[in-house]
Amino acid sequence: PGEPNNYYDGEHCLILFGPGNSRGGGSGKWNDAVNNDAEAQGYLIEWGAPAEPSTNAVNYNPLNGHQYQVVTGRLTWSQAAIAAGIVLNGVTGHLATVNSASENDFIRNLLTVESGTAWLGACDTNTEGVWSWITGEPWSYQNWYPGEPNNYYAGEDYLAMLGPPERRTLSIGKWNDASDSELEIMGYVVEWDYAGE
């Protein structure tokens, strides 16, 4: 009752009152809130079939001590970049960043027909043609498919690793720049940077 009130003309996001909330604990009632409202302590994710993400095993790469997981699901790059931030044993994940041929091979071998072509953690949204890893690591290694990145129709700013089934000759493990909502994408790769494991 009384909501949405767009309090101080600044409330544009939806909250569901849960147990313990003094103003409607467990009621299931809604409130409009600010983007960073301290009252909101969680969020709800919904997946609709048939795009339900399914997680595969977490895989340890002995070459750098990092863990990797391929998640199958049709997310945009922006959605995947957020979804990858899950915590595993106290370490926050990120979309995978690739710094060597051996790391690229390791990830390439995790891709499946189900995950298909999958997001990696780089974009050139700041300056067209200047690619950077979301972790801030130097852009030292790259493995583009011939002719890529082509910024197709001037709308491709996000990095994907081409997966099976092979649609272009010798493509698996090679990189393509794609649009945020590229339909070819079927998964994303999460990396956790454990040090010294």
What b/e string do you get for 9-22 counting C-beta neighbours within 10 Å, with b at 16 or more? eebeeebebbeebe
* Token output for 193: 């940077």
3: number of Cβ within 10 Å? 17
Q: Which residue has the tokens 């690619």?
A: 131
- The Cα–Cα gap between 77 and 189 comes to 11
CB 160 within 8 A of CB 121: no
- CB-nearer residue toward ligand MMA: 33 or 178: 178
User: Judged by CB under 6 A, which of 32, 137, 184, 193 binds ligand MMA?
Assistant: 184
Q: Check residue 167 for interaction with Ca ion (CB under 5 A).
A: no
The contact pattern for ligand MMA, residues 139-178, with x = CB under 6 A and - = no contact, is: ---------x-x-x---x-------------------xxx
- CB-nearer residue toward Ca ion: 49 or 183: 183
184 interacts with, out of ligand MMA, Ca ion, none, CB within 5 to 8 A per kind: ligand MMA
67 interacts with, out of ligand MMA, Ca ion, none, CB within 5 to 8 A per kind: none
Contact residues for ligand MMA (CB under 6 A)? 148, 150, 152, 156, 176-178, 184
